[in-house]
Structure 1
Amino acid sequence: MPNDPAAPVSVVLPTREWTPACAELAAQVGPADEFLVACDGPSDPVVDAAEGTAATVVVAGEPTGCSAKCNALAAGLERASRDRLVCTDADFEHGEEWLATVRRLLARVPEGHVLSTAPVLASEGPVGKLLEPSSAVGVATSVRFDSGVWGGTMAFRRGEVDVDAYVADLRRTAGDDALLAERADGIETARSLVREMPVDGTLCGTLSRRVRWTRMGLYLDPAGIATRALLPLAVIAGTLAAPFVTVPLVTGVAAAAYAALGVHRWTFLLAVPGYALALLLLCYGLARDEFEWTGRRYRWESLYDVTVLDPDGK
């Protein structure tokens, strides 16, 4: 039954390393479920680490014409056999009740919709800290208006999304979550599934991540790119014209977003300079099409035109 929260699921997790998230999910899957860990090659550390656990390792092979994550996710989805599919990532803390919550919420999702959420960025790097407030405001908005899909949490029912077409397109792109959103009739963005996602807050790591996110928006949501430019411009203009009004207002909105999401970090105080930096990074992302991601370098020239580059950029 579509609304049965006890129905078995296939959990697909692309990763080369066995992380705490893998152990969390291995402990949460039931006997009728599948837990598929998709990696690049047989020598990846996760292959040996998964032995004796509830996880089944799927070896995807080296990516060609797509990102390694999309390649691994495609291989995992091809192997999955259950009618309910749950895709997630290995780089954030899920919590003991994560899979149970996904099951319960997926049972309530309207036909043809995808269940997802959004991540709250958490960084110890100086550049990353500046970007946390604008990210939190975006997440709170996404949750409020059911407007976001995040690769860390994507759940849907087979037959309501064309899985074969999705898998085929994954193998020629670098954006898994926004691509799924294009194939769904609607999105359900759950507040209870919001998680803090640790990110590299260094300049190089931030630049690569912003190029990837900006290119994805440019190819799949150009209107969203315009919105992401207008808000920082408004903050900058307001700060210059009326700083004693704009600065407290923007900082207060960021603080409210943190409170709504249950985030306890002081970085909401960096909201105004963070929006200025976000605008600069958006411009950088529009001007660049190369980025690094989990040890590989890519050139992403259009939605279905991805080149896996050598370390020297060739």
Structure 2
Amino acid sequence: MSEREPTSVLLPTLEWGPVAAQLAAGLRAEDELLLVCDSADDPVASHDTPAGARVLVAGDPDGCSGKANALARGMEAARHDRLVWTDDDFERGPDWLDELVAAGVCHGPASAVPFFTGSGWWRLVEPWYGALFALLVTLQVGPVADTAWGGGVTFTREELTTDVESLAAELRTVLSDDYLLTQRLPSVHPVRSMVTPVEVAGDAGAVVSRIVRFGRIVGVNEGWRGSLVNLVVAAVGLAYPFVVAPLLTAVFVPVYLCVGERRVNALFAYPGLLLLPVTVLGARLVTEFEWAGRRYRFPESGVVEVVREREG
């Protein structure tokens, strides 16, 4: 096993679960795993962590998301030059950390590629919000080029366009850690071998909250003009269903294959297209949503409000 530079891995989490154990197992001798929770009452805070892992308490977020707040605390405590941000909502193999860091050494800031997949109501929008998004990130096409996904991204302090202290301060003012980090790195290399299925909840409330959150992150930060494209495409699909429906199915089957997935959800591409106006208008008009047990408000001002704290 070849040597690599020591790495600080930041994992916002409330409990010691399979992901924490997998990351701890992949640490090298000088690496550190920082498990960042909200409160000393969270289960992970009292867990007997293995060598190389330690728990940090970030406190409740104020003016930012819980995850951004946790990453700010982790950045302040991290000891090494090489940094990795990740999430606890997908499992990984023993070589995951080595592969990601190796990509960062070769290409500069490097990110795994998320593929948001699920059942229930999510199936209707998965072709667009899951498969197509993953493909565009992988190919570096359009506004999602150079996306730094907070679920699996590596960079060094020197690669940031700001200093760590300033980044930590900014994290405490934002909803999306991914969006902020993307803005603070000069470019991001998508690791094509690390397309990562992330299972998301499929109940109606969870799907609505996710779509509103995704939509408002883009709309509030970048403007809403891009959403007009979705409306036009949906209008064309509604006007010419017998042409567009089979065409979309023929297109999305290879899209799924390109991101390494064989899923019948590709058949929902046309129904999902017809739902795009609803998702666009919903994200435009609705300002509140649930995320990881908290309820947030994200108005046009861009100021994050925590409407309701998580229970427990």
Q: How many Å separate the matches in 1 of 2:278 and 2:64?
A: 27
1:28 to 26, 29, 53: 26
Do structure 1's residue 138 and structure 2's residue 133 form an aligned pair? yes
Q: Which residue of 2 aligns with 1:187?
A: 188
1:69 CA displacement: 0.8
Which consecutive residues of structure 2, in runs of 5 or more, have no partner in the other structure?
Answer: none
Q: Which residue of 2 aligns with 1:97?
A: 95
Q: Which residue of 2 aligns with 1:160?
A: 159
Other structure's SS at 1:117 match: strand
1:50 CA displacement: 4.8
Letter of the structure 1 residue corresponding to residue 278 of structure 2:
L
Q: Which residue of 2 aligns with 1:240?
A: 238
Q: How many Å separate the matches in 1 of 2:309 and 2:156?
A: 39
1:257 CA displacement: 1.2
1:206 CA displacement: 1.1
Deviates more, 1:33-42 or 1:13-22: 13-22
Q: How many Å separate the matches in 1 of 2:265 and 2:287?
A: 29
1:232/1:20 CA distance change after superposition, 3 Å? farther
8 Å contact from structure 2 (residues 100, 112) kept in 1: no
Other structure's SS at 1:52 match: coil
Q: How many Å separate the matches in 2 of 1:75 and 1:53?
A: 20
8 Å contact from structure 1 (residues 42, 59) kept in 2: yes
8 Å contact from structure 2 (residues 114, 196) kept in 1: yes
Q: Report the TM-score, using the length of structure 1 for normalisation.
A: 0.90
Q: How many Å separate the matches in 2 of 1:261 and 1:207?
A: 24
Q: How many Å separate the matches in 1 of 2:96 and 2:48?
A: 20
Q: How many Å separate the matches in 2 of 1:311 and 1:41?
A: 12
1:31/1:311 CA distance change after superposition, 3 Å? closer
Q: Which residue of 2 aligns with 1:299?
A: 297
- 1:1-314 alignment runs, 5 A limit: 6-52=4-50, 54-110=52-108, 114-125=109-120, 127-135=121-129, 136-145=131-140, 146-161=145-160, 162=162, 163-222=164-223, 225-231=224-230, 233-234=232-233, 236-302=234-300, 304-310=302-308
Other structure's SS at 2:155 match: strand
Percent of paired sites with the same residue: 37
1:117 CA displacement: 3.2
Letter of the structure 2 residue corresponding to residue 16 of structure 1:
L
1:304 CA displacement: 4.9
1:5 CA displacement: 7.0
Q: How many Å separate the matches in 2 of 1:302 and 1:181?
A: 20
Q: How many Å separate the matches in 1 of 2:296 and 2:232?
A: 30
Q: How many Å separate the matches in 2 of 1:152 and 1:28?
A: 16
Q: How many Å separate the matches in 2 of 1:52 and 1:128?
A: 37
1:207/1:50 CA distance change after superposition, 3 Å? farther
Letter of the structure 2 residue corresponding to residue 121 of structure 1:
F
Q: How many Å separate the matches in 2 of 1:207 and 1:39?
A: 26
1:190/1:279 CA distance change after superposition, 3 Å? farther
RMSD, aligned CA: 2.0
1:239 CA displacement: 2.9
Q: How many Å separate the matches in 1 of 2:113 and 2:93?
A: 16
Other structure's SS at 2:55 match: strand
The CA deviation string for residues 101-125 of structure 1, in whole angstroms up to 9 with x for no partner, is 1111001124xxx311331112122
1:260/1:50 CA distance change after superposition, 3 Å? farther
Aligned length: 302
Q: How many Å separate the matches in 2 of 1:239 and 1:291?
A: 29
Which consecutive residues of structure 1, in runs of 5 or more, have no partner in the other structure?
Answer: none
1:173 CA displacement: 1.5
The CA deviation string for residues 121-157 of structure 1, in whole angstroms up to 9 with x for no partner, is 12122x1111111120121011101442221012111
1:175/1:89 CA distance change after superposition, 3 Å? same
Letter of the structure 2 residue corresponding to residue 41 of structure 1:
S
Other structure's SS at 1:185 match: coil
